[in-house]
Chains A and B, each alone.
Chain A
């Protein structure tokens, strides 16, 4: 009989006490499993310095982007005090409009000065990294076409004016401070010099490190493969800078040796080298406009 009582005590009491758990808050917390949410604010804007990020403009938002690349700063590359370290010059200017058709699909048009290019672009967010790490990386696909309207004897055929880029953008937010992006790029140019290849493959990587709630250090690097035998050497592209977010605006101030702003251009045609003073001051302003009313809730 005693055994029976003991048995009853053991079997009934724990379950009874379990139910009598008086901490409602704890009960609630136990019941609400952490939800799977996409990671927020991986990057602040579409581009890091030279390279793209996985971010797209959200639905019915318009990102107006003004990018300016000054001239070379170093004396060896034509800079120096006489042109205030390149500030009198503009190596490239890009004015772009990026628009979100959906929260995942963005299209854009732009003008870039250097090759007198008109750019059309599309970026699609395929995957978003989730807070529970079920999806460990964000993946976006990017493609653009640059059409040069330059008057040049080289362009014997109108097709020669086109340069195509396609990218797979892989990104991960490691912590609330650090986000990293890696991008393989395939570039096709319809017209190239005799020593060059129509198709090139590049690899880029970059990061953003947030050091205050609104300011980050940004860095990126791009290397285009198989370009050692060119008559005029091309260089890898390195950019470093600071990104400041003010809510609606993102300001980026950076140094880079890129010769142009479009990937169709700098990946294959960067003639300036950091080692020879070929770095330039550059800035970008991104201003987000909300067109139309109300994105309807986040499902």
Chain B
């Protein structure tokens, strides 16, 4: 009897873990853009290859952005961005890992303002911050939108003195991520 109970509870535990999988969502379509407003030249760049996951149960969220995949208007800007500012050969990924503060109910359709507290890592330097945005559930998909600002000095990004193509000290970032339920076999994109 004992053993049967034990087996049953084991089974239950395992089942609960697999139920867990349904709480996981992964990005199906994402876009990260940034904007630098500088005296000589405004610079914008767009990245369509962010990776992200949310766990609805724990309200955890993680985002990674491959720095190399930002697309610029000019090829030379891309080179400077990677080589001089972000040093993407040393720090290929920017990331965010945090927890959604509000107890939003994402099992039903709806849209909520939300904040997420966590660590933003850019240029290998970690910063605690709270992101503000909106989170929306519609059908099987979840959408997150957030706008925030990044100060270069917070992430030890230095502007080379000789570079004419200067960028702003504070960069505006816009993130828009659309999620679908996570399937373990999926290889992302």
Residues of chain B within 8 A (CB-CB) of A248 are: 76, 164-165
Residues of chain B within 8 A (CB-CB) of A213 are: 83-84, 158, 160
Do B76 and A29 touch across chains, with their CB atoms under 8 A apart? Answer: no
CB distance from A105 to the nearest CB of B (A): 14
B7-63 interface with A by 8 A CB criterion? 7, 10, 13-14, 17-18, 20-21, 51-55, 58, 60-63
Q: Does A1 contact B (CB under 8 A)?
A: yes
Residues of chain A within 8 A (CB-CB) of B84 are: 213-214
Q: Does B124 contact A (CB under 8 A)?
A: no
Q: Given A5-B7, A24-B53, A212 and B160 touching (CB < 8 A)?
A: yes
Bound state CA distance, A31 and B10, in angstroms?
29
Instruction: Choose one: A16, A37, A61, A297; the contact of B68 (CB below 8 Å).
Output: A37
Bound state CA distance, A27 and B62, in angstroms?
9
Residues of chain B within 8 A (CB-CB) of A176 are: 83, 87, 89-90
Do B162 and A298 touch across chains, with their CB atoms under 8 A apart? Answer: no
Q: Does A58 contact B (CB under 8 A)?
A: yes
Residues of chain B within 8 A (CB-CB) of A5 are: 3, 6-7
How many chain B residues touch A (CB < 8 A): the figure is 53
Q: Given A28-B52, A40-B83, A247 and B10 touching (CB < 8 A)?
A: no
Instruction: Choose one: B3, B83, B188; the contact of A1 (CB below 8 Å).
Output: B3
Q: Given A25-B62, A61-B75, A295-B74, A34 and B3 touching (CB < 8 A)?
A: no
Q: Given A24-B53, A24-B60, A131-B89, A8 and B164 touching (CB < 8 A)?
A: no
Residues of chain A within 8 A (CB-CB) of B13 are: 16
Q: Could you mark each residue 237-265 of chain A with 1 if its beta carbon is under 8 Å from any beta carbon of chain B, else 0?
A: 00000001111110000000000000000
CB distance from B75 to the nearest CB of A (A): 4
Residues of chain B within 8 A (CB-CB) of A131 are: 68, 89
Interface residues of B, dominant DSSP: mixed
A83-103 interface with B by 8 A CB criterion? 103
Do A288 and B71 touch across chains, with their CB atoms under 8 A apart? Answer: no
Q: Does A294 contact B (CB under 8 A)?
A: yes
Bound state CA distance, A248 and B76, in angstroms?
7
Closest to B27 in A: A28
Bound state CA distance, A27 and B76, in angstroms?
33
Do B75 and A295 touch across chains, with their CB atoms under 8 A apart? Answer: yes
Bound state CA distance, A295 and B80, in angstroms?
16
Q: Does A19 contact B (CB under 8 A)?
A: yes
Q: Does B117 contact A (CB under 8 A)?
A: no
Bound state CA distance, A40 and B60, in angstroms?
35
A22-B58, A23-B62 known; 15 new pairs, CB 8 Å cut-off, are A1-B3, A8-B10, A16-B13, A24-B61, A32-B51, A32-B93, A37-B68, A40-B79, A40-B83, A176-B89, A214-B84, A214-B162, A215-B162, A245-B162, A247-B163
Which B residues contact A (CB, under 8 angstroms)? 3, 6-7, 10, 13-14, 17-18, 20-21, 51-55, 58, 60-64, 66, 68-69, 71, 73-76, 78-80, 82-84, 87-90, 92-93, 95, 97, 158, 160-165, 184, 187-188
Query: Closest 3 CB pairs between A and B?
Result: A24-B62, A247-B165, A25-B62
